[in-house]
A = this chain, B = another copy of it.
């Protein structure tokens, strides 16, 4: 069935793969797009020439729509915007910054723009900035997150009430059941990150993929709240952060511990001890490596079964 999200992106299923640093290059994005969802290249960990290469390869690997995620606070975002326009990328998901910054220019160039937020107050600003849709991302999501700690279950109903543009739910979603839950709350699409990390097409290091598969409930925590809150998987670096935070360390000390390049070290180079490992709470039940296209199809099948079951249920 069509809805506002499938129509907006010209895709078959309103299932969007999140643009994740070090995990989602052209292989993952094209696999998800080819399966009928929307694949996203995560530009936040790419130099300008690397993004250009990934966009070109993605176009060669799929004739379906795909998107680029653009974290606005990253130093190369201006050059990334040039690449996006030059290469005629049809859709941009921007995040981590003001939606007013690039939306007008992108829209002038015929690009569909979506912005990611963690509160319904910010969702309204996204609508005001002229974006076509908004991703509302709950506390349980991996990676960077909001300070208000509003969970997907509480955020989605409030975001849906706050705006007229379609809401894409993110955080805690990785199965057909959880996608059905998001739709019950009024979302018209879902954005799924963590579930796509443990795929052959993800560019994450094999050790990180295995760590995600082995992670148990309670193994992630929103950390570094005095810098930029980020959900991390438990390892030695995580324990070091926890210990420093418990002592009341300020941002400067945390920044010193964090240093530079830790996420690359962890997620891309496979340093499971000292690396920074960003993943969502659903890692607790991810227990197998599967091709991205199979994940999309399993979600679709489960959604249809669960929705049908609910359809015959009356209180």
Contact = CB atoms under 8 A, between A and B. Distances in A.
Contact of A311 (B172, B303, B307, B315): B307
Size category of the binding interface on chain A: 35 or more
A180 interface: yes
A208 to B, nearest CB: 20
Interface stretch (A94-102, A108-116, A183-191, A198-206): A183-191
Contacts of A218: 119, 147-150
B1 A313 contact: yes
Nearest to A301: B315
Interface string A48-71: 000000000000000000000000
Interface in A276-291: 281-282, 284-285
Contacts of A181: 153, 180-182, 184-185
A297 to B, nearest CB: 10
A75 interface: no
A175 interface: yes
A128 to B, nearest CB: 17
Contacts of A155: 217
Given A248-B249, A313-B183, A154 B172 contact: yes
A25 interface: no
B313 A158 contact: no
Interface in A64-106: none
B304 A307 contact: no
A212 interface: no
A184 B180 contact: yes
A285 B158 contact: yes
A157 B308 contact: no
Contact of A153 (B157, B171, B186): B171
A282 B158 CA distance: 9
A140 B153 contact: yes
Nearest to A186: B177
A301 to B, nearest CB: 9
Given A121-B217, A173-B153, A310-B184, A161 B281 contact: no
Interface of A: 1, 13-14, 119-121, 138-140, 147-155, 157-158, 161, 171-173, 175, 177-178, 180-186, 217-218, 221-222, 226, 245-249, 281-282, 284-285, 300, 303-304, 306-308, 310-315
22 contacts: A1-B314, A1-B315, A119-B218, A138-B153, A139-B139, A140-B153, A147-B218, A148-B217, A150-B281, A151-B172, A151-B281, A153-B153, A154-B217, A154-B281, A157-B175, A157-B178, A178-B184, A183-B310, A184-B307, A248-B249, A304-B314, A307-B313
Given A151-B153, A154-B217, A184-B307, 6 more contacts: A1-B315, A13-B315, A150-B218, A154-B285, A245-B248, A310-B311
Sorted from nearest, which 8 A-B pairs have the closest CB atoms?
A: A311-B311, A248-B248, A153-B172, A148-B218, A181-B181, A180-B184, A154-B281, A151-B151
